[in-house]
Amino acid sequence: MRKAEITRKTKETAIEVAVNLDGTGKAEIATGVGFFDHMLDQLARHSLIDMRIQAQGDTDIDDHHTVEDCGIALGQALARALGDKTGIRRYGHFNLAMDDAQVACALDLSARPYLVWSLPMPTAKIGTFDTELVREFFQALATHGGITLHVDLVHGLNSHHIAEACFKAVARALRAAVEPDPRMAGQLPSTKGAL
């Protein structure tokens, strides 16, 4: 079963994450950060990965710790659910258009975390949400999920559209990468013999 659960507790946050890589995109999200909940719902829905993410954080200070720690826990859950990665496609890419925004994502479930980020935001806030936290989330996800992740803004005028296109593009690329490859059944998608 390609499922995993992670619990992360610090002085700043308490987070529980559960994922099912072979789901239908069902999302149960409650982080206390409204816009972020909306983005995580998109991530689940478009990756077809069932996600349950429950978080309590020091949002009275700001949303940074909650968003970053959710990225850490979700990355750990994805890595655990993937196991040794036998039989998966490993790579994924997607260009996603949403109104004025187009975001390109390419990723490799390489176990070599690296983030290349070229996603400038026109505004510092989306409502009360700090737009710089979008990068913080994906940095944590890539680092703790062992993902080489490239995200590039092709076009975009509206910060909400750019952020949402980003989450959806990553979701679709992730969907492709975690899928079983019928031609690779029982084989690791690497010539090294390990990922």
- What digits encode the pLDDT tens for the residues 112-150? 999 999 999 999 999 999 999 999 999 999 999 999 999
> Residue ranges of the domains in the chain?
3-184
Q: What's the fold here for domain 3-184?
A: Ribosomal Protein S5; domain 2 (3.30.230)
- What digits encode the pLDDT tens for the residues 64-80? 999 999 999 999 999 99
Output the pTM of the full model.
Answer: 0.96
Cα distance between residue 13 and residue 140, in whole Å: 15
